[in-house]
Each structure stands twice: as C-alpha cells, then as structure tokens.
Amino acid sequence: MQPRTVDTSAAAVPRPPIEVRDPASERTVGQVPNDGPEVVARLVERARSARPAWEAMGPRGRGRALRTARRAFVRARREIVDLLAAETGKPMNDVVGEAFAVCLDVGSAVRHAPRALRPEVVGTRIPGGKTRIVRRVPHGVVGVIGPWNAPLTLTLGDAVHALAAGNTVVVKPSEATPLAVRRAVEALAGALPPDVLACTTGDGETGAALVDHVDMVAVTGSPETGRRVMERAARRLVPVLLELGGKDPMIVLEDAPIERAVNAAAWGGFFMSGQVCMSIERVYVVDSVADEFVRRLVERVEALRVGPNDREVDLGPLTSARQVEIVASHVEQAVEDGARALVGGRRMPELGPRFYAPTVLVDVRPEMRVMNDETFGPVVAVQRVRDADEAVELANASPFGLNASVWTRDLARGRAVAERIEAGSACVNDCILNAGDADLPFGGAKQSGIGWRHGGVDGVRAFTRPQSLRIDPGRRTRDVPWFPYRRRPVELALRAMGWLWG
C-alpha cells in the first residue's frame, strides 16, 4: 500500500502545543506537540523503512525484543501510571490495572505469534500433486488511534499485537490523554530497533494525516469517530479495525446468584466511572427477583466513594467535560419521562465540575434515550422483564452489540441465552474482564465495531492478511485445462458432474 504523496520538504507550519489538564482540578499537568501532517509523514516513512528488518526477525526474534521492551516499560511504570492518573483522574487501582494489562498483552502476543503466523499446508488432494499453502503477511505500517478513557491499554494493546505480527507501528493517543502513552512508547521504543514503534501527538488533523499514510488503521473510539476514519481510509482502500461504542445489557434471570449479580452490576456499571465501552448500562431483571436485586444494588451504589484520586476512592471524575453533559442529559430526560433515580442522578459540584454521582434508574422504558444511546458514565438503568425471552428481545433491540452478560445458576441455560444475544462477546455470571482475557479475541457486532483484536491467535492475525501459495512440481509440460482446447475433456467433465453430484 503506497502512502498519499505529501511534500515533506516544506517547512512545517507552527502549531501551538496541546495542554493536558487534570479532570479533577482542571490544572495543567503537561503539554504535548500538536504534530502536523508533515511530521506524521516522516514518522510513517521511517517506520516503513524499518519494517523489512523487523519482519525478517521472525515471530520468535520479535518476541524476544518485545519481552525486552516490556522490561523497559516495567522500569518506567511508576512514572507512567502517575501520568495516567493525572490526565484521566481515575483511581490508582484503575490506572495500575491498565499498566498490568499492557504487560499481559505483550505476553499473549508473543506467546501466540508463532502459531498465528505459521504457514498452513492445505493439502495435496488435487491432480498433479500440487502443494497449497496459506501464509500470514503483515500489512506494513499500522496506525493506532487511541481513546481517552483507557488510553494505555487500548492503544498499546493494539500496538504490541501489530508488532508481534511483523508490522511497524505509529500510535496517536487522544489529545485529551496523551501523556502516559507517549511516555510508555518512549520506554518501549528505546528497547526496540529504531523506528519500529513511534508516537505522534495532536488533534483530529494529526489523526487524519496518520490515516492518509499508513497501510492499516486500528481505532478505538465512538461510532462517529469510526465512521470518519473508515470513510477516509476508504479513499486509499486501507483496511481498518474498529472497536467502537457499546450499550451492554445484563440479563438477570429468576435463578441468578443475586449477591454475585449485584456486586457485578455495581462494579461493571461504575468501574472507571462508567467510562468503558463494555460497561453494564442496561439491566433486564426478571420480575420475581427485581425488588431484591434493586434493593441490594442501591445499597452497594450508596456505599461507593467518589472523589479525586489523591484519596482512597472508587470513582473519580469523568475525564471529558463534554461527557458530563451527555450523562446529565440522559438522566434528566429519563426522569422527565417518568424514570426514578433511586440514588445519584445529580452532578457533584462540591467535588468539581466533572464529577457525577453514581446513579441507579428504575421505571425506565425501552424508548428512552438512556436505554438506547451510549451514556458512557456512572449510570445503570434497570428494567423489569417477564422472562428470558423478553430480556433477549430488549437486549437485541439496540444498534450496539459489543458485550453482554447473563446471570443464572443453570450454566447450560445461561450459555443458551448468551448465544442468542447479538454481541461480539457474552459472559455467563461474569462481566467486562473477558475483554482483557489474554486468550480470547474481542470485538463488536453491529455498530460496536469491525474486526477482532487482543487475545489469542486471532489477536495477532488481525494485523495480517492471508497470502495463498499454489506450488506445482513442474515436471509436466502442461495441465489439462490449458491450450489447446479439445472436445473430449469437455464431455468428460460433463459426465463427471453427473457421476459426482447428479
């Protein structure tokens, strides 16, 4: 794939740096360059020059290099997590979890790459003893565009799998949270061959320039971002991987382990202040256990501690100021239409402008915005249902299909219900952490994304394309279908169709 031609000899137009703010205090915690298209073009050109030697190392050689890079990342871990906490406002439990996940991703990618990239001999059951082989080929330079909610793991998780597959990588973190990713790439890249991994920082124009030059794009973000990237990539027919939004349903059946289900809803709905695409946003609970489930859930949510991450807290601020407005509007519209907030349902100005109280809504209806649009905040909406059939019908009545969960003591029934849900992944008596399972691929259905990444063989193969090889021994001068044509082979072929399939 050839990059779009850009004249990089011209002097770059000066662009003011981007200031990064702590969402709890809104004080400036750092700044990064706002790279222009010419900077991006140079980084991609260097990555493209470095790729042949990196690919030639083979999966095991690259694996050794990536393990060395992981050690460099671990040595810098405290600085990285401090930056991540400052720019996202998340509790240290969450940011350390992100750093831990990067280390797990390296291990998974390195472990699965030899098998994922091993050429597959299809067989020789065709005339003439021809050999057929399918091999996996890296795309070239992969551009990774990361989100602001979990910038470290969702950006570097893609990068390390792409590297393990033999690509070189340029990452572009969100302009809202670029500090930890930039420092992590600096640590990793310092232990890798030159220009194999690079980071560019900037706004939407920087991201667009990256799409214009790389050979493949991996994006984690909103459906709107995914559409823009896909439209731009389509101009050059560049393949894309998209992990987009979710509106994940939780189905609580009448025989559910209630205590476990309640604890899961409290964590799965409010982890990272609900700023996770796999967050539990919709709960469909069978009527016979709804009262008990709601009562216990309210108790758990009332006990959650909210505050800046310099304290021991469970929830921090929302990272994006715009997201506070979206969350507030979802709740306000639902309450105006008859829903009730049993806990929360308000901003927390006493803590700061980006804090919103963890909220449990009941008496919601399917047509409400809070049951359809991605809220991406600390809000869980609970709707009563007659049975599993109604729950599945409501769960599937969504443009999203990322993750889902079913709660029941009957595991066979739980699996049967989970398999009916239109989602890329589903759990029984579990939630969210399946997305970080090092051996499971993760991806979305419908508007939740295109393609699979992370976890297992599929996570490495996602950054490759197949190449088919058909090899003949070369001992014969011609094959039957070649010129000159004869009538007799035609008649034999017609008869054979009748013998074989008539």
Quick check: is 370 in a domain?
yes
pLDDT at 425 over 90: yes
Q: Are residues 256 and 401 in the same domain?
A: yes
Answer yes or no: do 221 and 354 share one domain. no
If asked whether residues 346 and 411 sit together in one domain, one would say yes
243 carries an active-site annotation:
yes
Q: Over range 301-306, report the average pLDDT.
A: 98
149 is a domain residue: yes
Q: Are strands 445-446 and 400-401 parallel, antiparallel or unpaired?
A: antiparallel
Q: Of 55, 175, 199, 277, which residue is the catalytic one?
A: 277
HEC profile of 451-477: CEECCHHHHHHCCEEEEEEEECCCCCC
pLDDT tens, position by position, 209-252: 999 999 999 999 999 999 999 999 999 999 999 999 999 999 99
Query: How sure is the predictor about 436, in pLDDT bands with cuts at 50, 70 and 90?
Result: confident
Secondary structure of 79-129 in the HEC alphabet?
HHHHHHHHHHCCCHHHHHHHHHHHHHHHHHHHHHHHHHHCCEEEECCCCCC
**pLDDT band, very low/low/confident/very high, at 440 (cuts 50, 70, 90):** confident
Model pLDDT, residue 5: 46
Domain contains 490: no
485-495 pLDDT tens trace: 999 999 999 99
Quick check: 88 and 153 in contact, CB under 8 A? no
Interatomic CA distance for residues 452 and 459, integer angstroms: 7
Instruction: Note the pLDDT tens digit of each residue in 97-136.
Output: 999 999 999 999 999 999 999 999 987 666 678 889 999 9
Read off the CATH number of the domain in which 339 is found: 3.40.309.10
pLDDT at residue 453, rounded to an integer: 85
> Are 262 and 232 in the same domain?
no
Instruction: Please tell me whether residues 296 and 189 are part of one structural domain.
Output: no
For residue 240, give the CATH number of its domain: 3.40.605.10
Q: pLDDT at position 124, please?
A: 61
**166 and 284 in a common domain:** no
Q: Is residue 157 one of the residues assigned to a domain? A: yes
Domain co-membership, 256 together with 144: no
Q: What is the pLDDT of residue 7?
A: 45
C-alpha–C-alpha distance, residues 345 and 350, integer Å: 15
For residues 329 and 227, membership in a common domain is answered with no
Q: Which percentage of the chain shows pLDDT scores above 70?
A: 97
Q: pLDDT tens digit string along 143-160?
A: 999 999 999 999 999 999
Per DSSP, the three-state class of 203 is coil
Active site annotation includes 431 = no
Q: With 0-12 CB in 10 A as exposed, 13-18 as middle and 19+ as buried, what is 354?
A: buried
461: left (phi over 0), alpha (psi -120 to 50) or beta: alpha
Amino acid at 61: G
Phi, psi for 127 (deg, rounded to 5): -55, 145
Total domains, the chain: 2
Question: In terms of pLDDT, which residue wins out, 399 or 12?
Answer: 399
* Mean pLDDT value across the chain: 95
d(CA 105, CA 456): 10
Query: What is the average per-residue pLDDT within 431-449?
Result: 91
What would the mean pLDDT of 423-428 be, rounded to a whole number? 97
- Residue 32 contacts residue 13 (beta carbons within 8 Å): no
Cβ burial 369-387 (10 Å sphere, 16+ → b, else e): ebbbbbbbbbbbbbbbbee
User: Does 325 share its domain with 403?
Assistant: yes
Q: Is the pLDDT of residue 11 over 60?
A: no
Q: With respect to residue 340, please indicate whether it lies within any of the assigned structural domains.
A: yes
Residue in 98, 175, 243, 374 annotated catalytic: 243
User: Do residue 302 and residue 239 come from a single domain?
Assistant: no
Give 8's pLDDT tier (boundaries 50, 70, 90): very low
Domain of residue 104, residue span: 18-244+455-465
pLDDT band of 12, cuts 50, 70, 90: low
Residue corresponding to tokens 């400036």: 28
* Contact residues for 11 (Cβ-Cβ < 8 A; gap 6+): none
Q: Are residues 306 and 418 in the same domain?
A: yes
125 or 73: which leads in pLDDT: 73
Give a yes or no: residue 479 inside a domain. Answer: no
At residue 290, does pLDDT exceed 80? yes
Does 56 score more than 70 pLDDT? yes
Name which of 59, 344, 95, 74 is nearest 187 in CA terms. Answer: 74
Distance CA 81, CA 151 (A): 11
The answer to whether residues 415 and 356 belong to one domain is yes
pLDDT beyond 50 at 434? yes
Specify if 179 maps to a domain.
yes
- Count helices and strands (H / E) in the chain: 15, 22
| Position 495 in a domain | no
Question: Pairing between strand 18-21 and 120-123?
Answer: unpaired
End-to-end CA distance of the chain: 46
* Residue 480, pLDDT score: 85
- Summarised one tens digit per residue, pLDDT across range 371-411 is 999 999 999 999 999 999 999 999 999 999 999 999 999 99
- Minimal CA–CA distance to 195: which of 291, 351, 53? 53
CB 139 within 8 A of CB 168: no
CA–CA separation, 343 vs 334, rounded Å? 14
